Structure 1
Amino acid sequence: MTTPSTRADVVIRPYGPGQVPPLMDVVADIWADAHPELVDNPGAEALGLSAPALHRQISGHLKHQGFTLVVAYTTGTAVGFGYAFPCDAAYWFGADLVDQVPEGARTERLMGLCELAVRPPWQSQGIGSRLHAELLKAIAPSWSSLLALPSNHRGQDLYARLGYEYAGPYRNTPDGPEFDLLLLRVGTQPG
């Protein structure tokens, strides 16, 4: 493994759906490094929070028009990734929340941010913010939304710095973990 580099040494590359399958193991490895508390946790796999679940999730999302994956590289090594796609509010928020989010999030272009992960040695260097900015540039939404585990303090801190606000609790399945649904009105990010 290489050592952390300066921000200038980081290159962000975008990928479309047809370019993603060969990168699946790389992004799953980044995800696992960024979420050590979930690796080898049998309960996490049952809840869909594992590298194999990430493979299934990405494979299912590749069909969405506008799907974009961005990967951060330093000295040829992938150190972070994120992916998102434009989606409609009914799909993203579900029947229980769609009427509770702001009207603009229901009617204007919405980006569903599915994953954003950076290997620990490269965290707190602006890479997550740069990955996020590249996704916003590629998808050009009016709103962005994501799900974050309340226990993911580093992620929650990043999302707050990016301007995301809590919009309510969310569960993918009735017995699944409760996530925080976070919303961002694009163009209103902090300074």
Structure 2
Amino acid sequence: MDLELRRVGREGLDEVRQTLLDVFAEVYAHRMSDPFFSVERFDERLTGHAGRNSWEAVIGYDNGTPVGYAYGAALQPGARWWMHQLDPLPEDYTEETGARTLALFELMTREQWRGQGIARRIHEELLAGRAEERVTLLVDPRKTEVKATYERWGYTNVGEQKPFPDSPLYATMVRQLRAPTAA
């Protein structure tokens, strides 16, 4: 397989939105009965995430067929990301500048292409183009293999949060990308 990785910013969302929705629908087909995982709710979250100036996605293609993607955006000052921690983190840890933390909102690979290192390649390509000091993501702690994968990639669990009333409980994970910049 010759994996092609394409980066798109928020100005290109209209061109790739249906691709993102289609891959999501396939990956989460087993959870569609849960309203939180419906394509409509995902599309709402996608619209909110992509509304940030710093939003970017990396989509992987195998001979023109989308196989997976990752997308994220920098957390802005006053971001709600850290507010849902069950055990609050220190204020100096959660203070956002708009350039400190990349929130990795989604990373998924279609089943046929799993186990080939594609998710990691997409993930690392997204991070390679970013200037933030660290990256954070949420993962269902019951998905122990997925959580262990993120730990192998350098992420540390910093607590748990429930970002929406109807969402699952998630482990909040953080990976340092570079040394913090002086204030």
Answer yes or no: same fold by TM over 0.5.
yes
RMSD, aligned α-carbons: 2.4
> 1:102–1:162: structure 2 CA closer, same or farther, 3 Å change rule?
farther
Select the residue among 82, 89, 93 that pairs with 1:100.
89
Give the % identical residues: 24
CA deviation after TM superposition for structure 1 residue 133, in Å: 1.0
How many corresponding residue pairs? Answer: 176
> 1:117–1:96: structure 2 CA closer, same or farther, 3 Å change rule?
closer
> 1:123–1:153: structure 2 CA closer, same or farther, 3 Å change rule?
farther
> 1:102–1:22: structure 2 CA closer, same or farther, 3 Å change rule?
same
For 1:110-149, what aligned pairs fall within 5 Å after superposition? 110-149=101-140
1 CA distance for matches of 2:21 and 2:127? 22
Unaligned runs of 5+ in 1: none
For 2:26, the equivalent position in structure 1 comes to 33
CA deviation after TM superposition for structure 1 residue 119, in Å: 0.3
What amino acid is the match of 1:64?
R
CA contact (8 A) 1:31 1:118 kept: no
What amino acid is the match of 2:89?
Q
Unaligned runs of 5+ in 2: none
Q: Please state if 1:13 is matched with 2:2.
A: no
1 CA distance for matches of 2:101 and 2:178? 13
CA contact (8 A) 2:156 2:174 kept: yes
Q: Secondary structure at the match of 2:129?
A: helix
> 1:64–1:75: structure 2 CA closer, same or farther, 3 Å change rule?
same
Q: Residue deviations 1:165-188, cap 9 Å, x none? A: 111111112453211111111259
> 1:98–1:150: structure 2 CA closer, same or farther, 3 Å change rule?
closer
CA deviation after TM superposition for structure 1 residue 152, in Å: 3.0
Runs of 4+ in 1 over 3 A off after TM superposition: 95-99, 101-108
> 1:18–1:180: structure 2 CA closer, same or farther, 3 Å change rule?
same
What amino acid is the match of 1:161?
R
Q: Secondary structure at the match of 2:132?
A: coil
CA contact (8 A) 1:66 1:139 kept: no
What amino acid is the match of 1:60?
G
CA deviation after TM superposition for structure 1 residue 142, in Å: 0.9
CA contact (8 A) 2:104 2:137 kept: yes
Q: Secondary structure at the match of 2:150?
A: helix
2 CA distance for matches of 1:154 and 1:29? 24
TM-score, normalised relative to structure 1: 0.81
> 1:19–1:125: structure 2 CA closer, same or farther, 3 Å change rule?
same
Which range is displaced more, 101-110 or 125-134? 101-110
